[in-house]
Amino acid sequence: MEALITPFSSPLTSISHKPPSSSSFPPLTTTPFFSRKPHKHLTHRVLNSKFGSFLDLIPENKREPIKFDINWLDPSSTSRFDVVVIGAGPAGLCLAERVARNGIRVCCVDPDPLSMWPNNYGSWVDDLSALDLDDCFDKTWPMASVHIDDHNTKYLDQPYGRISRKMLKMKLLGGCVSNGVKFHKAKVWKVDHQEFESSIVCDDGNEFKASLIVDASGFASSFVEYDKPRNHGYQIAHGILAEVDEHPFDLDKILLMDWRDSHLGNEPLLRVNNSRLPTFLYAMPFDSNLVFLEETSLVSRPALSYGEIKSRMVARLRHMGIRVKRVIENEKCVIPMGGPLPRIPQSVMGIGGTAGLAHPSTGYMVARTLALAPILAESIVECLGSTRMIRGQPLYHRVWNGLWPTEKKLTREFYTFGMETLLKLDLKGTRSFFDAFFKLNPEYWHGFLSSKLSLVELGVLGLSLFGHSSSSSKLDIVTKCPVPLVKMMANLVVESL
């Protein structure tokens, strides 16, 4: 679930495409980009059942590179650009295309520019529609559902979709090609800076110079610097695209969250662990026998172990009567959430995970990054495309503050407060929180999930959420959240100065 996550789409008419066959899905396999120390004493082996375990099934699909004729760089012809973008993910490609369409010389460097992105991306349909990317969905659902517990289900009248990574990447690559972006296949080892120019050194020995280096290589990058401790929360998930005998999910609804724990009735240790550090199921039903299933820890610090996540998922699927016949693809992901922003400004510009764009409370990032890339591109073009050629510190100041103006820093503090609140809630508190959250006007809960609310609107949301909360939930907020609240208020004051 990239989106709430992943996540992280009167019922609206679905713009669904025909559900694709299992063989048409691009791979979802990912590898954790780092290893975090897991919570202690949270490992457990689920008892065998007649349904067995999907954990021993080997994913069948292999990642195949995209066949696309891109503009490969001839290093002997040039080594000087206006902008070098490190990384060919959604953030890097979108930014490269946007900058290059204004005549700026751009080179994108990636170990494998044509490889299929590994992550599973989900998004509210209107978030991509606003970016003219309606055609980049594999499948859409007209509604979403949230199981708070066994007796309380919310139905969200908001279309949701699974992003087609192949269609999105080909669309972004096409824009890069038509605007002259050059591509170089290599890993960047080192970045150096001089007063008005920076350079990168690649593992193949090539060196390229540019007025601006943009790091779009993801959370694990070391090129973007921080001046505060990186006290992130972590979203961790294990997912599978599976062929099953049958499943209980409505085909016209995405299951956004399932917080029920009845599947742990015969697993006392798992149930105790889950009551303290809850996980939920996220499900995309494509047809009666094909479904994407993902067990997710929304946020924890430190991250839950994969072993714990998988054990809970096995118990859940067994309880639901879901027998996995084939694992077509699998996904393992860790998303750092919240924590401080990178040092602003600095010589390397960030975009995507390297710029702190992941939603601190939910992990949503792709749609937001695609929306912000044109804003960052405009700042870059204003500097490097002007007759004055603004470079060096004035350039870094302009682009970083263009991406993170004061208003956006302030709203991020509120979203981070949301994450810190969720970190302190057990299963009972989490259920109460989302029961109240999804009672809000859709303008507010959807705006919160999509990072669209202003600081004033977030304040109204906070008051409304407190008003809709149960007595026990209000007690949780009053007793468990004063420290995060004080920190948020202090940070708001600092950022406002």
Question: Range with the lowest mean pLDDT among 26-40, 268-282, 400-414, 457-471?
Answer: 26-40
pLDDT digits (tens, 9 = 90+) for 431-441: 999 999 999 99
Rounded to an integer, the average pLDDT of 125-133 is: 95
- The larger pLDDT score, comparing residue 8 to residue 409, is at 409
Return the pLDDT at 400.
97
Rounded to an integer, the average pLDDT of 174-201 is: 96
Q: How many residues does the chain have?
A: 497
- Sorted by sequence, the CB contacts under 8 Å of residue 142 that are 6+ apart come out as 11, 12, 13, 14, 16, 159, 252, 253
CA neighbours within 13 Å on the CB side: how many for 217? Answer: 23
Burial group, residue 10, by CB count within 10 angstroms (0-12, 13-18, 19+): exposed
C-alpha pair distances (Å), 79 with each of 89, 113, 373, 391: 22, 18, 25, 18
Q: What is the mean pLDDT of the chain?
A: 87
Identify which of 13-22, 180-189, 485-494 has the greatest average pLDDT: 180-189
133 touches 168 (CB < 8 A): yes
80-228+341-405: CATH number:
3.50.50.60
Q: Which pTM was predicted?
A: 0.85
Distance CA 329, CA 122 (A): 16
pLDDT digits (tens, 9 = 90+) for 435-492: 999 999 999 999 999 999 999 999 999 889 888 888 877 777 777 666 666 666 676 6
Residue 48 has pLDDT above 60, yes or no: no
Residue 1 has pLDDT above 60, yes or no: no
Distance CA 321, CA 245 (A): 9
Return the pLDDT at 482.
64
Residue 198 has pLDDT above 90, yes or no: yes
C-alpha pair distances (Å), 475 with each of 70, 427, 484: 58, 15, 15
Beta strand 280-285 with 207-215 is unpaired
Return the pLDDT at 476.
72
Residue 397 has pLDDT above 70, yes or no: yes
CA neighbours within 13 Å on the CB side: how many for 166? Answer: 12
Return the pLDDT at 17.
38
Rounded to an integer, the average pLDDT of 249-254 is: 98
Q: Which of 236, 311, 222 is nearest to 35 (CA)?
A: 236
What residues form DSSP beta bridges with 161? 123, 140
Rounded to an integer, the average pLDDT of 388-403 is: 93
Return the pLDDT at 14.
34
Return the pLDDT at 320.
95
Q: Which of 252, 294, 297 is nearest to 276 (CA)?
A: 297
Return the pLDDT at 367.
94
Question: Range with the lowest mean pLDDT among 61-70, 292-301, 339-348, 486-495?
Answer: 486-495
Residue 66 has pLDDT above 70, yes or no: yes
Give ranges for CATH 3.50.50.60 in the chain. Answer: 80-228+341-405
Rounded to an integer, the average pLDDT of 125-141 is: 95
3-state secondary structure labels for all residues of the chain: CCCCCCCCCCCCCCCCCCCCCHHHCCCCCCCCCCCCCCCCCCCCCCCCCCCCCHHHCCCCCCCCCCCCCCCECCCCCCCEEEEEEECCCHHHHHHHHHHHCCCCCEEEEECCCCCCCCCCCEEEHHHHHCCCCHHHEEEEECEEEEEEECCEEEEECCCEEEECHHHHHHHHHHHHHHCCCEEEECCEEEEEECCCCEEEEECCCCEEEEEEEEECCCCCCCCCCCCCCCCCEEEEEEEEEEEECCCCCCCCEEEEEECCCHHHCCCHHHHHHHHHCCCEEEEEECCCCEEEEEEEEEEECCCCCHHHHHHHHHHHHHHCCCCEEEEEEEEEEEEEECCCCCCCCCCEEECHHHHCCCCCCCCCCHHHHHHHHHHHHHHHHHHHCCCCCCCCHHHHHHHHHHHCCHHHHHHHHHHHHHHHHHHCCCHHHHHHHHHHHCCCCHHHHHHHHCCCCCHHHHHHHHHHHHHHCCHHHHHHHHHHCHHHHHHHHHHHHHHHC
Angle at 167 between CA 248 and CA 91, to 5 degrees: 105
What residues form DSSP beta bridges with 329? 241
Distance CA 145, CA 256 (A): 6
Rounded to an integer, the average pLDDT of 176-201 is: 96
203 touches 187 (CB < 8 A): yes
Phi and psi torsions of 370, nearest 5°: -65, -30
Provide the sign of the torsion angle of the four alpha carbons 77, 197, 373, 162, taken in this order. positive
What residues form DSSP beta bridges with 271? none
Provide the sign of the torsion angle of the four alpha carbons 432, 435, 437, 441, taken in this order. negative
pLDDT digits (tens, 9 = 90+) for 276-334: 999 999 999 999 999 999 999 999 999 999 999 999 999 999 999 999 999 999 999 89
